[in-house]
Structure 1
Amino acid sequence: MRTVIVVGAGASQECGLPIGSRLTQDIGGLLNFSYDGWRRQSGDELIALAINKKTNSVPEYYQAAMDMSKAMPLAMSIDNYLDAHAGNVQIETCGKFAIVRAILQAESASKLFMGDGREMDFFQLKDTWYVAFWRLLAQNKRIDDLAVCLDNITFVIFNYDRCVEHFLFNSIQTYYRVSREKAAEILQHLKVFHPYGSVGALPWSDRSGIAYGATPSPDQLIALAERIKTFTEGTDPDSSEIGEIRAQFSDATTVLFLGFHYHPQNLELLQPPDTAAHHGLDVHYYGTGYGLSDADRDSVVDDLAKLTGIEPEAVHIAKLKCAQVFQEFSRTLLI
């Protein structure tokens, strides 16, 4: 019995991370460079330092950044904008710098941030899906049982942030009273994919990683930006994990979409390689549909059924927020 959980921007929003429209606004501000003669008057200093270090063609990159800043109000998301300019090195570079900078800043302002040696404040998170999921996950389980359970759970996270990994790492320590090393060992049983990359590994999983919400150096920003993928890069079978992600869907009996907007390009990325693989399995898809009209909800149900080869009756999209969906399907989502 394998469970796949697909996480979109709406899920991270519950702890304070930006959705697509807010992220484009933040990126527009970071790339809003202006000059008085040769002196820079606005725009993010760290991104400016990274541009200066990475390339000798500084004016071309600054012009690309300024063009992006002007265009951000018109973009559905930063991913859509980068895809529209696929192959433009200046735009892709500036966009990836801005994504890393904006997401790390957003992490530091989120409910999950633990600066100055503080512990995670779970009371701030009690009404979020993170806590609702944890309660379901840890129900009637000792720590060795948890490790076995995680072997059968896969996260496919379309966001660049590390909220899920950061939350679970700290929840395991607090709930089971174990060390950082033990929590990291337990989380090795969990499969996590970021189809479009992330702002870097967390230090407990990779010594070269960057802490949640940290401020990178210019060199770190350059290195972390290389982990961000455009749509073209994320769907390239030769340079992405798309094959393994799709295989997870073939084996899943339960799929849960959280804060996901069901964009066609992202649904296609998740399409199982062989929809017949589901045949003979009691497969059910669940998902949030907060803000969807009835017509759009019905369209999403049809799209998921056609994409995966399951019956529409097995697709359950509730017009609820992420935390609420765990209440709505509390018995059927038992992990």
Structure 2
Amino acid sequence: MTYVDLSNTLLIIGAGAHVPYDMPSGHALRAEIKKLYTYNDYINFSIQPRDEVGKLKWNILKTAMSLNVLSTAERNSNKKVFDTGLSETHYKQYFELFLKSFSESHVLSIDTYLSNVQKEEDEFIREVFKLFGKLTIACVIQAFESSSPLGGRRDDWIHHFINSFVRKSPNDLFKFFPKIITFNYDRIFERMLFTHLTEFHKFSHLKAKTEIEQLNILHVYGSLGDYVEWQEITELPNFFESAIANIKVIGEDRSDMKQVEDEIREKYKRANRIYFLGYGFDEDNNRLLRTSFGFDDWEINKEIYSTSIGIRKSDLSRIKKTLNTTKMISRLPDRTMREVSCSDLLFEQAPLI
């Protein structure tokens, strides 16, 4: 059997690529968090609310208490704030303070907000907002990840990818898998690969997990945690603690930043084709890519393509400036053309094969 070698192809995945799977974009994630701020019903820690927003807020508060978030903030800031034991009231108070600050900041995303929390003068508040912010991201995304079966959507590009390149013989095809860089915290791509391998090819959970880990998918800002076999959260007592530790935000001091840049550079160097899928071309992310690629003329000898959903004509000059690109700009449709989705790009306009 002949396989197409995709090992010299690089997929750069943004939040827009997972919207077809009901995952929130940056704007949608902001809206979900702001709903928590406007939720005014009383939260009884002993009784889970019936409505979805109430359930989410209750879950975040209960998890924050179980993880001793406020005590951790005291410890991280070297600041003693509470003379007596911490109560439910304390957690409600500081979570509301975080939600108010985020909602009234009027920034485009929670990531952008958290990147500026580093400037907060009060070290304790800085730690509280950072911990509550990461926990909220983890709880919201986990709720979306597990809310419904994946696949069967209009732009189900991962389904097409699996059936085009994985289904025939995964044992051999993984040798020719594309390089992947994702700016998403969720693990939708890994989950769909995992269930395909276990349910269709009858791989054991361990074998499927091992195969996927060997793909070295790079989550630039971390993910919800190490890859697991998708158990119920109740079976993973350290899930959210791990998620808080793994999630990183723009501008955060990171001991692993050089390693991340080196991984991006290595994947880029091995690629002769680069696909930007649902990538929003955030200026900070553009600068990270450009710095990691290692030189300004990064487009030389590369075929570069991009989806265009949500990209306006007015965005093109900004993209060109921060990513230093001309080749890709010419591949983006102008506003008079139909928007190009992931499936459109990968299987019609610039087919992988």
Q: Aligned letter for 1:100?
A: A
- Further displaced range: 259-268 or 169-178: 169-178
Query: Aligned ranges for residues 178-217 of structure 1 at < 5 Å?
Result: 178-204=203-229, 211=230, 214=233
* Cα displacement (A) at 1:34: 6.6
Change (3 A) 1:255 1:220: same
- Aligned AA for 2:17? A
The alignment's C-alpha RMSD in Å is 3.5
Listed as ranges, the matches of 1:1-335 within 5 Å are 2-30=8-36, 44-53=57-66, 54=68, 55-56=70-71, 57=82, 58=86, 62-70=92-100, 71-72=102-103, 74-86=106-118, 88-112=126-150, 122=151, 124-125=152-153, 127-138=155-166, 142-150=169-177, 153-204=178-229, 211=230, 214=233, 219-233=238-252, 238=257, 241-271=260-290, 272-275=292-295, 282-297=301-316, 299-301=318-320, 303-304=322-323, 306=324, 312=327, 316-318=331-333, 319-331=339-351, 333-334=352-353
> How far does the alpha carbon of each residue in 1:8-36 deviate from its partner, in whole angstroms, 9 at most, with x for none?
11111101111112212222344668797
- Change in Cα spacing, 1:101 to 1:298, as seen in structure 2 (3 Å) is same
Q: Distance in 1 between matches of 2:107 and 2:94?
A: 15
CA distance in 1: counterparts of 2:153 and 2:253, whole angstroms = 31
Secondary structure of 1:233's counterpart equals: coil
Matched residue of 2:12: which SS?
A: strand
Higher strand proportion (structure 1 or 2) = 1
Corresponding letter in the other structure for 2:261: I
Moved more, 14-23 or 227-236: 227-236
**Secondary structure at the residue paired with 1:289?**
coil
TM-score by length of 1: 0.77
Give the total of aligned pairs: 309
Bigger drift between 17-26 and 170-179 goes to: 170-179
| CA distance in 2 between partners of 1:29 and 1:321 (Å) | 29
Unpaired runs of 5+ residues, structure 1, are 113-121, 205-210
Measure how far apart 1:302 and its partner are. Answer: 5.9
| C-alpha displacement of 1:315 | 5.8
Unaligned runs of 5+ in 2: 1-6, 72-81, 121-125, 334-338
Deviation at 1:313, TM superposition (A): 6.3
Instruction: Check conservation: 1:32, 1:69, Cα contact below 8 A.
Output: no
